[in-house]
Amino acid sequence: MVMARRGLRSLIIAVAIPVSLTLATTYYSGSSRIYGDLAKKPFWYPSFLILLLASLVSSSFMGLSAWLVWAEGGFHRQPTALYLYLAQLILSILWAPITFTCGAIPFGLIICVALFCALVGCSQSFRRVNPIAAGLIKPCLAWVAFMTIVNFKLLYI
């Protein structure tokens, strides 16, 4: 019972940290106003609420995925997996402030591409430890691919 409580506590922490960082970044970057003020957005651009919700779901999946790898001792056996996870976490946190707050859309595109590559690396590393953890990364890859397209189109607005 004690191990189950400890496991649940570590799971909550593993998911809460990336979700909290995503919320804080979104709040402090003020990207809802800047993103909403874009005059010539194509119709298929997600609303800011969708952008926020999808980013939160993606953060949750990555936290759960990392926890599954950690629970099986995968970060000790595969330290590269930890570095890739931390890289994707940092890149995902940096994207909104750099793209919207700073207005550095080309640099935001570079971050999106680097984030996609980090997620691919996470998926491959995590698959060696836990295939379910790697499967949880697939929706995150799809979301980042879509956001890369959105970021690319922002260059021409």
- pTM for the full predicted model: 0.89
At residue 117, the pLDDT reads: 97
Q: How far apart are CA 24 and CA 148, in angstroms?
A: 22
Q: Determine what percent of the chain falls in helix, strand and coil, rounding each to the nearest 5.
A: 85, 0, 15
At residue 130, the pLDDT reads: 94
At residue 64, the pLDDT reads: 96
pLDDT tens sequence for the chain (157 residues): 666 677 788 899 999 999 999 999 887 776 556 666 665 677 777 877 888 899 999 999 999 999 999 999 889 888 999 999 999 999 999 988 888 888 888 999 999 999 999 999 999 999 999 999 999 999 999 999 999 998 898 888 7
At residue 40, the pLDDT reads: 67
Q: How far apart are CA 119 and CA 136, in angstroms?
A: 11
Q: Which domain holds residue 56?
A: 2-154
Among candidates 71, 96, 75, which has minimal Cα distance to 84? 75
CA angle centred on 25, ends 113 and 90, rounded to 5°: 40
The domain total for the chain is: 1
Q: How far apart are CA 103 and CA 98, in angstroms?
A: 6
Q: What is the number of alpha carbons within 13 Å of residue 68 lying toward its C-beta?
A: 21
Altogether, the residues listed in the chain come to a count of: 157
Q: How far apart are CA 100 and CA 150, in angstroms?
A: 12
**What is the DSSP track for 13-43?**
HHHHHHHHHHHHHHHHHTHHHHHHT-TT--T
At residue 33, the pLDDT reads: 61
